[in-house]
């Protein structure tokens, strides 16, 4: 449904919560959480008055849903040629865009990262995405999941409101299959390991996440060791190449889980401790290798693979460890 719009509550909607009623009428283009943000932003009125998400509607109520303010939307005239970074597009059709996000790129504008983001790159190449700005005016067009700034790899972006809702539901219901590669400090002893440790905000350091949070959420990561490497010099602990398949998608989940078992990602400045640095990695050695989703329209199962970034390639080459396309496929298909 195109905004702005007006809807009227019928007898069957009497005493229904406002957010439930509006999301039901705007589905599938807008989810209940998006509608809740619209209400909070004052974009939804009942009989001309701003209301709460929990307010009940009555038969005959007129509910007006406004579009986000024009000033919150992307204006192509604000861009000069070359301002937006380039992005590697792995796949695109009328519903989705799949990209290989490089390390060092923030997904969307935020304090401290106002430009040079994945959103900037996408809007420069697909300007019609501007219409996908969040209904409360936040410019995160089509973003349904994220990777940390210094994590590289595959991401899917919705190109239509319908796909945004469908993909968000897949992530929420854990239908999406995600495969990551990490190069970690030390030789992981067990070949396979499932880490089930709830993750939440660190009790003291607010920029960090922790398995010792006061308000954790369930988090599960399945780890498989692909290779173990000897130390280059005395006193070092060696390293391991691991595949990680997360069941959940908590902020920093894989990095926190790996650090919690004593094997942080090489180069991780936040969770790697004093040994976080690496000659090869000036960021956490974490790469989103593969993503398997159901196409939001057709339902067809789709798999997308992001080639290894150069720092992974150079590290594995130095170890004389094969990492060609056949090996990547084998790592993805590990049981």
Which residues are part of the catalytic machinery?
Answer: 148
CA separation for the pair 131, 36 (Å, rounded): 19
CA separation for the pair 78, 329 (Å, rounded): 42
CA separation for the pair 143, 134 (Å, rounded): 9
Asked if 5 contacts 63 with a C-beta cutoff of 8 angstroms, the reply is: no
Which tokens hold the place of 289?
Answer: 């290798």
E strands, the chain, in order: 5-8, 44-46, 49-50, 62-65, 88-92, 96-101, 152-158, 177-185, 192-196, 200-201, 209-210, 220-229, 239-246, 286-294, 301-305
Asked if 67 contacts 134 with a C-beta cutoff of 8 angstroms, the reply is: no
CA separation for the pair 289, 183 (Å, rounded): 13
Asked if 265 contacts 292 with a C-beta cutoff of 8 angstroms, the reply is: no
């Amino acid at each position: 449904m195109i905004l702005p719009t007006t809807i009227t509550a019928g007898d069957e909607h009497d005493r229904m919560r406002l957010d439930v009623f509006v999301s039901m009428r705007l589905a599938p283009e807008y989810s209940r959480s998006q509608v809740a943000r619209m209400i909070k932003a004052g974009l939804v009125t009942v009989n001309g008055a701003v209301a709460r998400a929990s307010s009940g509607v009555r038969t005959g109520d007129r509910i007006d849903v406004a579009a986000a303010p024009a000033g919150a939307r992307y204006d192509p005239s604000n861009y000069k040629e070359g301002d937006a970074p380039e992005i590697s597009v792995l796949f695109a059709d009328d519903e989705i865009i799949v990209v290989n996000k490089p390390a060092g790129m923030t997904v969307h504008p935020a304090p401290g990262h106002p430009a040079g983001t994945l959103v900037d790159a996408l809007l420069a190449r697909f300007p019609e995405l501007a219409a996908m700005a969040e209904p409360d005016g936040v410019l995160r067009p089509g973003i349904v999941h994220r990777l940390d700034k210094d994590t590289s790899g595959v991401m899917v972006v919705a190109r239509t409101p319908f796909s945004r809702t469908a993909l968000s539901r897949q992530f929420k219901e854990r239908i999406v299959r995600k495969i990551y590669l990490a190069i970690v400090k030390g030789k992981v002893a067990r070949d396979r390991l499932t880490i089930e440790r709830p993750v939440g905000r660190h009790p003291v350091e607010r920029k960090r996440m922790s398995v010792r949070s006061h308000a954790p959420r369930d988090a599960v990561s399945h780890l498989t060791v692909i290779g173990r490497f000897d130390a280059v010099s005395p006193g070092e602990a060696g390293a391991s190449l691991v595949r990680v398949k997360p069941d959940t998608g908590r902020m920093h989940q894989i990095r926190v889980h790996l650090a919690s078992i004593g094997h942080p990602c090489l180069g991780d400045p936040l969770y790697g401790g004093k040994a976080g640095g690496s000659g090869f990695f000036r960021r956490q050695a974490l790469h989103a290798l593969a993503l398997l989703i159901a196409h939001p329209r057709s339902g067809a199962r789709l798999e997308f693979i992001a080639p290894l970034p150069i720092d992974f390639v150079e590290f594995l080459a130095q170890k004389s460890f094969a990492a060609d396309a056949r090996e990547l496929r084998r790592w993805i298909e590990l049981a």
